[in-house]
Amino acid sequence: MANNATLMQYFYWDYPADGMLWNELAHNAGDLAAAGITALWLPPPCKAERGIQDVGYGIYDLFDLGEFDQKGAVRTKYGTRQELEAAVQAAHTAGLQVYLDVVVNHKAGADRTEVVMGTPVSHDNRNIEIGPPREIEVWTYFNFPGRAGTYSDFVWNWQHFDAVDYDQRTGSVGTIYKLRDKQFDTPVDPERGNFDYLLFADLDMGSDEVRAELNRWGDWIVQTLGIDGFRFDAAKHIRFFFFNEWLDHVRATAGRDLFAVGEYWTPDAGTLGWFIEQTGRRMSVFDFRLHFNLRDASHGGGSFDMTRIFDGTQVRQDPALAVTFVDNHDSYREDAVADWFKPLAYALILLREGGQPCVFYPDYYGAPGRTSHRQILDRLLQVRRDHAYGQQNDYFDHPDVVGWTRLGDADHPRAIAVALSDGPGGAKRMNVNRPNRNFADATGNIGGVIITGNDGWGDFRCNGGSVSVWVEQ
């Protein structure tokens, strides 16, 4: 039986723009695999609007992986194409899968403007026009002179986009203009009437030429890098049926089942269920409701009802397609889970069945102003890899102290018992189905052993605001 899959988001927003991420990854790949990580989510690797300063979401040229002199440099924020290829190779050599962040909702940093008719629409309800059509000057012409047709000679123009939010002629920023006779795509998230438009020049997924070019790029990126899957940025703003066509095409060309997860930023599991249904269960989604629950518990001062930590979550509703996380590159900047709660939060995603957990780079390695939790994470990852298998029994019956047991399987015979509290310390009486056996706390938070009774039950302790992971000795 394969070991538990564990993803790592291998970047964060404020990672230094020194071009070293790919080299660093090549250096760390072996250690990450040894620690129990099985897959890496890499940042958008393509040339973006702000050159080496761009995290990658202001996407300019999908076919420039740090190979052409565009946007002020050859390399991207993270390095050159050669360094990226070496990093992917090192990851694969270490046994890690590699998932790329894919940005196909919009384009930015066009090579020149075009003049076209545009109709202003309401920011709060994009279905409402707030003025007559007018002539506007828009940044929608992309011919990538630095690349000069290498890999693709496709030239983008206004007909490949449905809306923009900048008129060069008047300098007006923030007004959304639908271009000429364009309509917003459906189905997309219904927030603001129709949430097709997010930012920059929005791709028109109703255009056959756009979809054909994105199919070509998908085939090219998989073949070029040998990657194993994708994380889709801004999935709620892209016509859902695009994913069906694109994933079916790229998977068929690749001849393998490439992993896919969508960033559909909503706390509502019903909406995520609708998205999963519309995309034919072709892709997973991030569990934002769980992130918000973890955040609320961490800022609750011990008053959060821990019996409700999984209420409304994707991992409870549809665990097979839930990617669970504590923080990511967006949330940690403004809405992070509090540091003291991080070990508890990671125990809740790493040591339970259901969901694919994702570890966040700064939580593991640290970052300026951020605490590294690597010591406890390495211990949790090791327990996940070696022992967190088999039947799970939950004991979420107290507002502070909660716990669960995993009974192991044929290949992972040791049982574990996890106890944690967001308030005072305590003990949780739980059944591990192991009579008269010794259990020790793998976190090191509590010394000594706990011995189960003749009936296989034990009183498994944890300290206040802490977690203990009791592993059969």
Do the beta carbons of residue 306 and residue 399 sit within 8 Å? Answer: yes
Residues 214 and 336 in one domain: yes
Residue 2 confidence (pLDDT): 67
Residue 383 confidence (pLDDT): 98
Distance (Å, whole) CA 91 – CA 42 = 11
CATH number at 240 reads: 3.20.20.80
Domain assignment of residue 267, yes or no: yes
Residues 240 and 343 in one domain: yes
Do the beta carbons of residue 271 and residue 285 sit within 8 Å? Answer: no
Domain assignment of residue 464, yes or no: yes
Give me the domain span that covers residue 403. 392-472
Total Cβ atoms within 10 A of residue 171: 7
| 318 DSSP 8-state letter | -
Bridge partner residues of 59 (DSSP): 48
Active site members: 233, 263
Domain assignment of residue 1, yes or no: no
Residues 258 and 351 in one domain: yes
Residues 56 and 36 in one domain: yes
Domain assignment of residue 2, yes or no: no
CATH number at 158 reads: 2.40.30.140
Show which of 386, 409, 424 is a domain's final residue: 386
Q: Quick one: which of 158, 15, 10 has its CA closest to 84?
A: 10
Distance (Å, whole) CA 72 – CA 69 = 7
Residues 72 and 27 in one domain: yes
Bridge partner residues of 462 (DSSP): 426
Residue 3 confidence (pLDDT): 83
DSSP E strand stretches across 255-314: 259-262, 284-286
Residues 328 and 355 in one domain: yes
Q: Quick one: which of 4, 28, 43, 29 has its CA closest to 92?
A: 29
Does the pTM exceed 0.75?
Answer: yes
Show which of 156, 172, 207 is a domain's final residue: 207
Residues 433 and 295 in one domain: no
Do the beta carbons of residue 265 and residue 323 sit within 8 Å? Answer: no
Residues 262 and 147 in one domain: no
Do the beta carbons of residue 346 and residue 378 sit within 8 Å? Answer: no
Residue 336 confidence (pLDDT): 94
Cα 160 to chain centroid, rounded? 27
Show which of 207, 242, 273 is a domain's final residue: 207
Residue 1 confidence (pLDDT): 46
Total Cβ atoms within 10 A of residue 124: 9
Residues 436 and 454 in one domain: yes
Residues 177 and 293 in one domain: no
Structural domain count of the chain: 3
Q: What does the angle CA 234 – CA 36 – CA 9 come to, to the nearest 5 degrees?
A: 20
Q: pLDDT tens digits for the chain (473 residues)? A: 468 999 999 999 999 999 999 999 999 999 999 999 999 999 999 999 999 999 999 999 999 999 999 999 999 999 999 999 999 999 999 999 999 999 999 999 999 999 999 999 999 999 999 999 999 999 999 999 999 999 999 999 999 999 999 999 998 888 999 999 999 999 999 999 999 999 999 999 999 999 999 999 999 999 999 999 999 999 999 999 999 999 999 999 999 999 999 999 999 999 999 999 999 999 999 999 999 999 999 999 899 999 999 999 999 999 999 999 999 998 888 889 999 999 999 999 999 999 999 999 999 999 999 999 999 999 999 999 999 999 999 999 999 999 999 999 999 999 999 999 999 999 999 999 999 999 999 999 999 999 999 999 999 999 999 999 999 99
**Phi/psi of residue 55, each to 5°?**
-60, -25
Distance (Å, whole) CA 463 – CA 420 = 8
Residues 193 and 318 in one domain: no
Residues 127 and 23 in one domain: no
Whose tokens are 């509090």? That residue is 338
Domain assignment of residue 181, yes or no: yes
CATH number at 402 reads: 2.60.40.1180
Do the beta carbons of residue 353 and residue 416 sit within 8 Å? Answer: no
